[in-house]
Amino acid sequence: MVSKELLKPNVLFIAVDDLRVQYGSYDFDKALTPNIDALSRQGVAFTKAYSNVPVCGASRASMLTGVRPTINRFVAFESAEKVAPWAPSIAKVFTDNGYTAYSLGKVFNNLTDHASDWSEFPWRPKGAKNEDLTTGNKKQDALLSRHDYLTPDNIKMAKKGVKNHPAFESADVADDAYKNGKVAQRAISDLQRLKKAGKPFFLAVGLKKPHLPFNAPSKYWDLYDESNIQLTKTPQRAKNAPAQAEHNWNELRNYGHDGTMPKKGTMPDDMAKKLIHGYHAATSYSDALVGQILAQLTALDLDDNTIVVLWGDHGWSLGEHSHWAKHSSYDVTNHIPLIIKVPGMTKGVFADGLVESVDIFPTLTELAGLPAPSSLQGDSLVPMLKDPNVKVNEAVFPRWKNADSIRTEQYFYTEWRAKPGGKGKGKGKSTKVVARMLFDHSVDPRETNNVAEKSIYADVVKNLHQQLATHIAQVETD
């Protein structure tokens, strides 16, 4: 029998949609995540990990190809295969090197994106068969099925129209009643199938919650007392923030919740508490599913030869800076959870160096001993996995639409450039900076005061501007 040390390592990659960081300086109650916490004790938790773009589709396309976003590439929900056809996906690299690769749930945002790179067509669950979810309107029925409502009141509310869809749901059901739970059950059965096959595998599992709507079995809502939920202490806009930094959090407002969601202005405190309660419940739900998947990995005696990665595709605002949802250039929507467990390597530590999503692909190819495509634009984190005190990146580079950011150990700096085409139409490059935002995390970790125009920070802004310009010029020519 071949010893396990000589076998190629398996990879279990778990992507959790809209999962914000549960550690750091954010000043609100944290969700209960005992299984994710346990995983961090078995591996390395990266405390300064950042998404390269704060929206699901683009973030996933970038990470799964190892290619950075630009003002014209990976902006929102484009297909990676169409936007960057020259960049192989991580699934392609693993299958080309003898691995079986499965995609379960939401991995790439677009189901057909790089679909042929996997060993089987990517799998996603179907919603519960429920005639009450049928309206006769094709678009409306598709949304109802995707949003996975189960309670009669929510089904009735949602059938009134797209703008009435509920933002949250608590249902007295089993974990696998919702699609999220079905993904975990499929992962468990596929682990059993992969164990029997005896080949090295790359299993990608996409858990949808805590993405809106915040639907979760009641037992996860019951973990929290809503009356004790604390609202953020920084609900106001950052002082001196430019107009470009603001957004209307339409992603959340579009869940009209039968007219109770405000169409404009700030969020009422009672609704804010309900939403935070729902976000925490949905987070604890996915945490429980992570635990179920990891328990199966151990039960099958696969854990001592399987690399486990848990990754959040971007952060999420729960009222900070008067924002909700993602789609911004603040730390809270770009800062992400990232845990990597490698059998035989460092475990139970926090690595405080800066890392970003594009670093994951080269990390996994190095750990698996596979050739890295020349298209990769990130850096391997293996040195940090061996020694968490090592620094791989001096800076990381999130971006959103026409805003490019640089995050260093001390600063988070953003520049908004004039949109190509003058009025945002067409494609192209632009170097004209129309707004800036700078936060000094050494004195302002909650990002309450934009100091970009303060004279004492003039040299800092000049230096960060130059670093950002060099970075943009490089990635836009790649």
pLDDT(29) > 70: no
What tens digit of pLDDT does each residue of 82-95 get?
999 999 999 999 99
Q: List residues bridging with 202 in a β-sheet.
A: 11, 101
| Whole-prediction pTM | 0.94
Give the residue among 335, 341, 372 at the shortest CA–CA distance from 357. Answer: 335
Closest CA to 213 of 252, 239, 164: 252
- Going by pLDDT thresholds of 50, 70 and 90, the confidence category of residue 64 is very high
Give the mean model confidence (pLDDT) for residues 133-145. 62
Residue 18 covered by a domain? yes
- At 136 the pLDDT is 61
Whether 47 shows a pLDDT value over 60: the answer reads yes
Task: Say whether pLDDT at 2 is over 70.
Answer: no
CA 365 to chain centroid, in Å, comes to 21
Is a pLDDT exceeding 80 seen at residue 407? yes
User: Would you say residue 1 has pLDDT above 50?
Assistant: no
* Residues 319, 21 contacting (CB under 8 angstroms): no
Q: Is residue 434 part of a domain?
A: no
pLDDT computed for residue 430 by the predictor: 63
The model's confidence at residue 66, banded by pLDDT at 50, 70 and 90, is very high
Residue 292 sits in which domain range? Answer: 4-393
In a domain, 278, yes or no: yes
Q: Are 325 and 316 in contact (CB under 8 A)?
A: yes
pLDDT at position 275: 97
Q: Answer whether residue 21 is part of any domain.
A: yes
Q: Minimum mean pLDDT among 100-114, 182-196, 215-229, 424-438: which range? A: 424-438
Under 8 Å between Cβ of 79 and 62: no
Phi, psi values for residue 436, rounded to 5°: -135, 155
pLDDT at 6: 44
pLDDT at site 145: 67
Q: Which residue has the tokens 């749930």?
A: 105
- The mean predicted confidence, pLDDT, of the chain is 92
Does 64 map to a domain? yes
Q: Cα separation of 361 and 130, whole Å?
A: 40
For 294-338, write each residue's pLDDT tens digit.
Answer: 999 999 999 999 999 999 999 999 999 999 999 999 999 999 999
* 422 confidence band (pLDDT: 50, 70, 90): very low
pLDDT above 80: residue 408: yes
Reported as a single tens digit per residue, the pLDDT across 458-473 is: 999 999 999 999 999 9
Any domain includes 441: no
pLDDT value at position 158?
A: 83
- CA count, 13 A, side-chain hemisphere, 292: 20
Residue 258's pLDDT is 81
- Look at residue 257 in the predicted model and tell me its pLDDT: 86
- Residue 237 has phi, psi (to 5 degrees) of -60, 150
| Residue 426 included in any domain | no
pLDDT tens digits, one per residue of 198-251: 999 999 999 999 999 999 999 999 999 999 999 999 999 999 999 999 999 999
Q: What is the pLDDT of residue 160?
A: 80
| The two structure tokens encoding residue 453 | 């125009």
| Location of structure tokens 């959103």 | 400
We report the CATH number of the domain holding residue 358 as: 3.40.720.10
Residue 130 has pLDDT above 80, yes or no: no
- Would you say residue 144 has pLDDT above 70? no
Least reliable range by pLDDT among 243-247, 359-363, 418-422: 418-422
Note whether residue 290 is domain-resident.
Answer: yes
pLDDT-based confidence at 345, cuts 50/70/90?
very high
Question: What is the mean pLDDT of the segment spanning 144-159?
Answer: 84
Pairing of strands 335-336, 44-50: antiparallel
State the virtual CA torsion across 207, 211, 215, 219 in degrees, nearest 10. 60
Select the more confidently predicted residue: 1 or 442: 442
- Identify the pLDDT of residue 185: 99
The tally of domains found in the chain comes to: 1
**476 band by pLDDT with thresholds 50, 70 and 90:** confident
Asked if residues 187 and 205 have their Cβ atoms less than 8 Å apart, the reply is yes
Residue 141, pLDDT above cutoff 70: no
Q: Is residue 159 predicted with pLDDT exceeding 50?
A: yes
